[in-house]
């Protein structure tokens, strides 16, 4: 009888999709309709605010299922118990295996009540019983679900990518006892270093689009989404340059900037506004199993991923906490094949492999039968060689600390300079900034993180250093730190350092001969070289050290390749322009404040500019 009912339902779904609506329904949506029922609830929090929560329950009630929850500010649409999404859960494998899926609009977003706050600060002390943060909202939701949703096995998991990854991180702090597995994926860790700000420099192209699409305020709960950003021009380089300064850029979208944009402009330094939005110090008392996931080419939250993993390790020595890193752009592991990014081919369907062989077994192990093997401490894709590797620690234990030094004639070597004086210089002109990509776009592209960098290296305001061709493979693993010694004729400056893999001619027929693949890059706003809380100007022509963290890599420079470093001071419009004249709030610099400056990068015995790297030895 059950087979007959399912067949009737399947026919009804297919006929309704093709005849009733005149358009085809996604096959997975049909599967979801056939195998799940949907409920919507307004779940009460401890302060009385109710959060819209969509619950999808398997139709097969002959067994119990774990609850797998995602909390999001991006809407749990489609709304209505008769409306079903085109996908459910973190993967098709999880959807077909059977879970009770829970999607929730976070407080103050879409159909949930309350006030929304961007990356709501965590409260270390709840003085009143009604004090709330994202940790308590997750706890209260889980508690209500266990008491009110039938057919569960008493175990709960949480997951989320990007902003939902932040909510997953918050949910595992002082977690509900039933929360057994959490996967923060590309989670926001500290918004002064993630997403919109990188070491104090403003990621203009990214922030303009994201805030325009996601930061509008509402007066009452509503299922309506913000209208997409309308760009006056699709040539972002020209658009933002001709605007003149940040005040003018903020008014390109609306007559008055959106509130969160205004807040950001008011807080250029890492003051209390930003410090309160760092969840990393609060990742304590973490009891569930944790799997942090990220991609090497995540242009948005790479910092949050590695720092979250390390914070959990440091603050919870006995926690079951693992790391997964693949060759993906932001969220690229959540869908698609993951076999390439731009022109770079990774040799296999890495994202599909992750979902089936890493993510799915993780949730099955900790939320169901426990029969799947435990994941490795670090499961990491090695770029350059295109192989998955597992390690019992991250960074790997068998790495050797080495230093690469800038030398004369654009050389890059593992031996320290001995010259008494040595430098290279360039004139940085804010009126003619170095573009971050050759692509004509107003947005931050995913592909910029693997773009060919020859277009930049040809400019006179970009310094280039490289090793000799490798005589054997060189694999770098772990964090890369730069000690950049500089002088400037101005009183402020940005510095961008890029780590590049230079391919020999004819290496890959899909790539241009001599392709210079970006491997890792970062910007640093020089005024913050001594403190992110208390900026200070440069003293013209006086040597100063700028320390830049490039974050982690696992990349093999194969025999015949070269390792290149490029150094520059503009990266536009990915990063807003530094006027190079110190003003108290850089976001309110006037057009006349923008001025040329000559920057020197020092490479002498007294002031050796260098990169600290980890060289991975043979597998033990």
Q: Note whether 104 and 53 are within 8 A (CB).
A: yes
Give the pLDDT score at 509: 78
Give the pLDDT score at 480: 98
133-142, 215-224, 545-554: segment of lowest average pLDDT: 215-224
Query: What does the pLDDT look like over 67-121, one tens digit per residue?
Result: 999 999 999 999 999 999 999 999 999 999 999 999 999 999 999 999 999 999 9
**Once rounded to an integer, what is the mean pLDDT over residues 419-429?**
97
Give the pLDDT score at 256: 64
Q: What distances in angstroms separate CA 298 from CA 41, 293, 383, one per listed residue?
A: 34, 11, 14
Give the pLDDT score at 229: 87
Q: Is residue 219 pLDDT above 90, yes or no? A: no
Query: Is 148 in a helix, a strand, or coil?
Result: helix
For residue 589, the number of C-alpha atoms closer than 13 Å in the C-beta half-sphere is 22
Work out whether strand 516-525 and strand 100-105 pair parallel, antiparallel, or are unpaired.
unpaired
**Do 438 and 554 lie in a common domain?**
yes
Q: Note whether 342 and 312 are within 8 A (CB).
A: no
**Do 416 and 361 lie in a common domain?**
no
Nearest Cα neighbor of 446 from 360, 327, 357 is 327
Give the pLDDT score at 12: 41
Distance CA 502, CA 562 (A): 5
Nearest Cα neighbor of 433 from 258, 254, 318, 597 is 597
Give the pLDDT score at 228: 87
Query: Is 19 in a helix, a strand, or coil?
Result: helix
Share of the chain above pLDDT 70, in %: 95
At 23, the pLDDT band (50, 70, 90 cuts) reads: low
Residue 311: inside a domain: yes
Residue 195: inside a domain: no
Phi, psi angle pair for 274, to nearest 5°: -85, -40
How is residue 311 written in tokens?
Answer: 């914070």
Query: What does the pLDDT look like over 309-347, one tens digit per residue?
Result: 999 999 999 999 999 999 999 999 999 999 999 999 999
Give the pLDDT score at 109: 97
Distance CA 481, CA 463 (A): 18
> 109 exposed, middle or buried (CB, 10 Å; 0-12, 13-18, 19+)?
buried
**Do 339 and 443 lie in a common domain?**
no
Nearest Cα neighbor of 384 from 263, 556, 231 is 556
At 2, the pLDDT band (50, 70, 90 cuts) reads: very low
**Do 532 and 426 lie in a common domain?**
yes
**Residue 606 sits in a domain of what CATH number?**
2.60.120.260
Query: What does the pLDDT look like over 227-262, one tens digit per residue?
Result: 888 899 999 999 999 999 999 998 886 556 788 999
Give the pLDDT score at 404: 98
Q: Is residue 22 pLDDT above 90, yes or no? A: no
Nearest Cα neighbor of 156 from 3, 5, 363, 357 is 363
Q: Is residue 59 pLDDT above 60, yes or no? A: yes
89-93, 139-143, 250-254, 549-553: segment of lowest average pLDDT: 250-254
Listed residues 339, 363, 391: the one ending a domain: 391
Give the domain range for residue 357: 27-190+277-391
Q: Which residues of 284-313 are buried (b: 16+ CB within 10 A; e: fewer)?
A: eebbbbbbbbbbbbbbbbbbbbbbbbbbbb
**Do 342 and 445 lie in a common domain?**
no
Q: Is residue 9 pLDDT above 50, yes or no? A: no
Nearest Cα neighbor of 396 from 374, 373, 376 is 376
CB atoms within 10 A of CB 216: 15
**Do 316 and 454 lie in a common domain?**
no
Dihedral sign computed on CA atoms, order 212, 448, 292, 268: negative
Nearest Cα neighbor of 75 from 29, 28, 112 is 112
Question: Rounded to 10 degrees, what is the CA torsion of 260, 261, 263, 264?
Answer: 120
* Segment (H or E) for 428: strand 423-428
Give the pLDDT score at 19: 38
At 620, the pLDDT band (50, 70, 90 cuts) reads: low
Residue 229: inside a domain: no
Query: Is 163 in a helix, a strand, or coil?
Result: helix
Q: Is residue 10 pLDDT above 60, yes or no? A: no
Work out whether strand 321-329 and strand 378-382 pair parallel, antiparallel, or are unpaired.
parallel
The CA-CA-CA angle for residues 447, 301, 311, to 5°, reads 145
**Do 356 and 442 lie in a common domain?**
no
> 192 exposed, middle or buried (CB, 10 Å; 0-12, 13-18, 19+)?
buried
**Once rounded to an integer, what is the mean pLDDT over residues 479-489?**
98
Distance CA 188, CA 311 (A): 13
Dihedral sign computed on CA atoms, order 356, 358, 363, 368: positive
**Once rounded to an integer, what is the mean pLDDT over residues 193-201?**
95
Q: Note whether 54 and 85 are within 8 A (CB).
A: no
**Do 501 and 594 lie in a common domain?**
yes
**Do 127 and 156 lie in a common domain?**
yes
Residue 198: inside a domain: no
Listed residues 336, 371, 391: the one ending a domain: 391
**Do 527 and 596 lie in a common domain?**
yes
* Segment (H or E) for 100: strand 100-105
Distance CA 112, CA 167 (A): 15
Nearest Cα neighbor of 499 from 446, 406, 413, 563 is 563
**Do 415 and 520 lie in a common domain?**
yes
Distance CA 209, CA 262 (A): 15
Distance CA 489, CA 427 (A): 10
Give the pLDDT score at 227: 84
Give the pLDDT score at 382: 98
**Do 376 and 405 lie in a common domain?**
no
Nearest Cα neighbor of 27 from 112, 78, 118, 88 is 88
Residue 250: inside a domain: no
Give the pLDDT score at 6: 44
DSSP string, 270-318: --HHHHTTB-GGG--S--SEEEEEEEEE-TTTHHHHHHHHHHHHHH-TT
Estimate the crossing angle of helix 2-15 against helix 27-35, to 10 degrees: 140
Query: Is 321 in a helix, a strand, or coil?
Result: strand
Residue 260: inside a domain: no
* Segments of 313-386 assigned E as strands: 321-329, 340-341, 344-345, 378-382
> 28 exposed, middle or buried (CB, 10 Å; 0-12, 13-18, 19+)?
middle
Query: What does the pLDDT look like over 382-396, one tens digit per residue?
Result: 999 999 999 999 999
**Mean per-residue pLDDT of the chain:** 94
Question: Rounded to 10 degrees, what is the CA torsion of 129, 142, 322, 371?
Answer: 140
DSSP string, 493-543: -EEEEEEEEEPPTTS-TTS-TT-EEEEEEEEEEGGGSS-SSS--PPPTT--
What's the first-to-final CA gap in the chain, in angstroms? 58
Q: Note whether 160 and 72 are within 8 A (CB).
A: yes
Residue 415: inside a domain: yes
For the chain, the domain total comes to: 2
Residue 11: inside a domain: no
How is residue 591 written in tokens?
Answer: 């057009």
Listed residues 360, 391, 422: the one ending a domain: 391
Query: What does the pLDDT look like over 508-535, one tens digit per residue?
Result: 777 888 999 999 999 999 999 999 999 9
**Once rounded to an integer, what is the mean pLDDT over residues 174-198?**
96
**Residue 372 sits in a domain of what CATH number?**
3.40.50.1820
Q: Note whether 580 and 594 are within 8 A (CB).
A: yes
Distance CA 303, CA 298 (A): 9
**Once rounded to an integer, what is the mean pLDDT over residues 182-211?**
95
Q: Is residue 21 pLDDT above 70, yes or no? A: no
């Amino acid at each position: 009888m059950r087979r007959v009912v399912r067949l009737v339902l399947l026919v009804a779904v297919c006929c309704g999709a093709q005849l009733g609506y005149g358009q085809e329904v996604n096959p997975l949506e049909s599967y979801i309709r056939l195998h799940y029922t949907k409920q919507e609830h307004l779940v009460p929090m401890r302060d009385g605010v109710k959060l819209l929560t969509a619950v999808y329950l398997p139709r097969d009630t002959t067994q119990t299922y774990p609850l797998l929850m995602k909390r999001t500010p991006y809407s749990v649409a489609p709304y209505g118990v008769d409306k079903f999404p085109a996908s459910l859960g973190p993967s098709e494998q999880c959807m077909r295996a059977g879970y009770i899926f829970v999607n929730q609009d976070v407080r103050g977003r879409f159909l949930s009540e309350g006030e929304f706050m961007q990356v709501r600060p965590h409260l270390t002390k709840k003085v009143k019983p009604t004090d709330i943060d994202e940790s308590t909202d997750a706890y209260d939701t889980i508690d209500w679900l266990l008491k009110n949703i039938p057919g569960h096995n008493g175990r709960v998991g949480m997951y989320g990518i990007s902003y939902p990854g932040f909510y997953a991180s918050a949910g595992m702090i002082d977690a509900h006892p039933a929360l057994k597995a959490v996967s923060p994926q590309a989670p926001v860790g500290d918004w002064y270093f993630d997403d919109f700000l990188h070491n104090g420099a403003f990621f203009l192209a990214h922030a303009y689009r994201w805030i325009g699409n996601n930061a509008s305020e509402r007066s009452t709960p509503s299922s309506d989404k913000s209208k997409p950003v309308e760009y006056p021009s699709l040539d972002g380089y020209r658009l933002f340059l001709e605007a003149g300064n940040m005040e003018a850029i903020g008014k390109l979208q609306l007559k008055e900037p959106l509130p969160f944009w205004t807040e950001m402009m008011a807080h250029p330094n890492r003051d209390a506004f930003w410090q309160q939005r760092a969840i990393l110090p609060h990742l304590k008392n973490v009891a569930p199993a944790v799997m942090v996931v990220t991609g090497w080419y995540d242009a948005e939250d790479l910092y949050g991923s590695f720092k979250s993993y390390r914070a959990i390790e440091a603050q919870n020595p006995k926690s079951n906490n693992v790391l997964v890193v693949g060759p993906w752009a932001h969220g690229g592991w959540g869908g698609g094949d993951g076999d390439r990014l731009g022109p770079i081919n990774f040799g296999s369907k890495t994202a599909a492999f992750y979902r089936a062989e890493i993510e799915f077994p993780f949730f099955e192990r900790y939320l169901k039968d426990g029969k799947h093997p435990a994941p490795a401490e670090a499961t990491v894709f090695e770029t350059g060689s295109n192989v998955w590797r597992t390690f019992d620690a991250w960074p790997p234990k068998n790495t050797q600390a080495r230093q690469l030094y800038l030398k004369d004639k654009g050389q890059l070597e593992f031996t320290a300079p001995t010259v008494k004086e040595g430098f290279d210089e360039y004139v940085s002109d804010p009126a003619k900034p170095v573009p971050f990509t050759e692509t004509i776009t107003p947005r931050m592209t995913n592909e910029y993180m693997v773009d060919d960098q020859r277009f930049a290296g040809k400019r006179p305001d970009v310094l280039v250093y490289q090793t000799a061709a490798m005589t054997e493979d060189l694999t770098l693993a772990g964090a890369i730190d730069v000690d950049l010694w500089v002088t400037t004729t101005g009183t402020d400056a940005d510095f961008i350092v890029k780590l590049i893999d230079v391919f020999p001619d004819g290496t890959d027929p899909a790539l241009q001969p001599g392709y210079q693949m970006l491997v890792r890059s970062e910007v640093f706003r020089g005024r913050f070289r001594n403190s992110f809380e208390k900026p200070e100007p440069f003293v013209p022509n006086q040597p100063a050290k700028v320390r830049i963290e490039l974050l982690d890599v696992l990349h093999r420079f194969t025999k015949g390749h070269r390792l290149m470093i490029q150094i520059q001071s503009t990266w536009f419009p990915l990063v807003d322009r530094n006027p190079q004249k110190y003003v108290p709030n850089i976001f309110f610099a006037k057009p006349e404040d923008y001025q040329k400056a000559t920057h020197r990068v020092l490479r002498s015995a007294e002031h050796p500019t260098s990169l600290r790297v980890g060289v991975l030895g043979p597998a033990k």
